[in-house]
Structure 1
Amino acid sequence: MNEKKMKLIECGMRLFAQKGYYNTSIQEIASESGISKGAFYIHFKSKEDFIATSFEYFHHNLSEKLEEVMEESDDPRKSLANQITVLFDYLYKHKDSIMMFIRENISIGEDTDKLMEHFKVENFNWLKGNITAIYGKSAQPFLIDLVIQLGGLLDGYFKWIVLDHVSIEKEKAGAFLVRRLDDLMMGMLDQQEMALVTFKQIPEEYTQTEDTEEGQPSSESLITIMRDKLSDLSAPKEEIQRLREVLEVLESEFQKKERQAVVIQGLLAHFKNYPSLNKESYMLSKIAGIKLL
């Protein structure tokens, strides 16, 4: 994403937090960012497109921070604790914006609803992946219960922080909650509990057959999503056709037994200025084991 677009998002979200979403005009966002109102529409189709892109931008940044933390430690308990600390830190930094969304009950269209559903499934996979990394096969009988319980603990603390302005030492939060996860796991094993919720009981979107063993979408499904999104992209026909050709080459590269990381990295760079494609690009980079340019 280019610097002007990032500045627009950061200025706009700051104004939303101060004045509210409905009380902030596109003209005010443009003026705060030092550009004309017409220039705003070069980057965003509407105010709704702006806020949807902002969701993706901040979620993408958080995902990258979590990914960096995951790579820093081989100890899965320490890794999860550090990831939770990052989540708490991010929550405190953006608390005013989160509060604004809750207060104003913003609903901004079907596309954003789909995006929120995607984030929900991604969060499920994040929790599931961390729990599996810590406990291995011993967690399998209780995996969904553990995901629900850890997710509930995090949501509970998040609500107290945002809605009731409770101050928590975020440096201690991660290790504290990982110990509570240990208590839950050991308690179910000691009591020889039967799972309350299993994979058969959860909605289909959490267990799509096209997903890989790690619970992440396959490269084929991600490239298909990107193709579909190109139809709605606000860009000249020649540019859209060029991007379609890039996807063809990208798909071919992923099908090879020995992928060339530098080639995939270069191909994904073609999509960096299109926020609606950033999420899929990032997930493809994870599959390929590279960082986006």
Structure 2
Amino acid sequence: MNEKKRKLIEAGMKLVAKNGFHHTSIQAIADEAGISKGAFYLYFHSKEEFITTAFDFFYQKISDDFARVKKQELDPRTTLEKQINVLSDYIFTYKEVIILFVRENISLGENTDKLIYQSKVENFHWMRESLENIYREKITPVLIDAIIQLEGMMSGYLKWIVLDDVHMEREKFGAFIIRRMDDIIAGMAERGEEPLLTVDHIPASYEMGGPSHDQTLSAQMRRLQEKISEMKLAQQQKNQLLEVVRALENESGKPDKQPLVIQGLLAHFSRHQELQNEAAEIAKHFGVELLQ
């Protein structure tokens, strides 16, 4: 994501969080970011698209930070501790943005709903992997209960930070939470506690181990849009390619998809060397041959 778009998202979201989604105009967002209203429309077609992109931006930001911690190849307890601290720092830094999603009932459409659901599934797998790596076979009988209790503890503390402006020593947060999980796991094992929930109770999509076909396709479409926005092309050419992306998204949502239409749309991207990988991946999802 280029610097101007990133600054627009960060400045605009703080303003929206302060004044409310419905009481913040596109002009106000542009003014806050120090750009013209016309420049706003170079990046977003509507305020709803702006919010959807912002949600994805902030979610990817923390996902990247989690991945950087994981690459350090620390022991499982330290890895989870550092990731929890990353999460608390992120929540504290962008708490105005979090308040927006907590307090306002904003209808942003199917794309945002998919992003939110995808984040829930990925968070589930992050917590599952982290707990299994720390507690091994000891946690197997009560795995789902342990995930729910870990999520509940983190959520409870972080809501105090966001909604009630409570300050805490965030560098101690991760270690504190893991020690409480030690107590919970040991207590359940000592009592021979029967689990309230098992893997049989959770939605099938959570157990698939990764994003669905539709979620993966949406992510590839977003990467394609980002690459187009950063290409050294005339703005008119960029806008034309972005229009093709939107046409492709519309076609993907139809029950009777037309392979020839999809091939024709993808051909616009295969002409550009830097877009060929994304075009090939999307063609594979649709089961069509990429035209050269």
Q: Normalising by the residue count of structure 2, what TM-score does the alignment of the two structures yield?
A: 0.75
Letter in 2 for 1:146: A
Deviates more, 1:186-195 or 1:60-69: 186-195
Identity of aligned residues (%): 46
Q: Which residue of 2 aligns with 1:81?
A: 81
Deviates more, 1:153-162 or 1:48-57: 153-162
Q: Which residue of 1 aligns with 2:58?
A: 58
Q: Which residue of 2 aligns with 1:123?
A: 123
Letter in 1 for 2:41: Y
The answer to whether the aligner puts 1:235 opposite 2:243 as a matched pair is yes
Q: Which residue of 1 aligns with 2:110?
A: 110
The answer to whether the aligner puts 1:18 opposite 2:12 as a matched pair is no
Q: Distance in 1 between matches of 2:219 and 2:105?
A: 30
Q: What is the Cα-based RMSD across aligned positions, in Å?
A: 2.8
The answer to whether the aligner puts 1:195 opposite 2:195 as a matched pair is yes
Q: Distance in 2 between matches of 1:63 and 1:224?
A: 18
Contact 2:269 2:279 in 1 (8 A): no
Q: Which residue of 2 aligns with 1:180?
A: 180
Distance of aligned partners of 1:47 and 1:156 in 2 relative to their CA distance in 1, 3 Å threshold? same
What pairs with 1:131-170 in structure 2 (closer than 5 Å)? 131-170=131-170
The answer to whether the aligner puts 1:206 opposite 2:206 as a matched pair is yes
Q: Normalising by the residue count of structure 1, what TM-score does the alignment of the two structures yield?
A: 0.75
- Name stretches of at least 5 consecutive residues in structure 1 with no aligned partner: 209-214, 254-293
Q: Which residue of 1 aligns with 2:250?
A: none
Letter in 1 for 2:79: S
Q: Distance in 1 between matches of 2:59 and 2:172?
A: 23
Q: Distance in 2 between matches of 1:40 and 1:181?
A: 46
SS class of match (1:168): coil
Q: Distance in 2 between matches of 1:97 and 1:252?
A: 36
User: In the TM superposition, what is the alpha-carbon distance from 1:252 to its structure 2 partner?
Assistant: 11
Number of aligned residue pairs: give it. 245
Contact 1:145 1:195 in 2 (8 A): yes
Contact 2:270 2:279 in 1 (8 A): no
What pairs with 1:92-111 in structure 2 (closer than 5 Å)? 92-111=92-111
Deviates more, 1:192-201 or 1:14-23: 14-23
Which fold has the larger relative contact order, with Cα–Cα distance below 8 Å and residues 6 or more apart in sequence? 1
The answer to whether the aligner puts 1:246 opposite 2:277 as a matched pair is yes
Deviates more, 1:192-201 or 1:242-251: 242-251
- Name stretches of at least 5 consecutive residues in structure 2 with no aligned partner: 226-240, 245-264, 285-292
The higher radius of gyration belongs to: 2
Q: Distance in 1 between matches of 2:165 and 2:7?
A: 28
The answer to whether the aligner puts 1:216 opposite 2:216 as a matched pair is no
Letter in 2 for 1:10: E
Contact 1:26 1:37 in 2 (8 A): yes
Contact 1:89 1:170 in 2 (8 A): yes
Q: Distance in 1 between matches of 2:70 and 2:94?
A: 22
Letter in 2 for 1:98: I
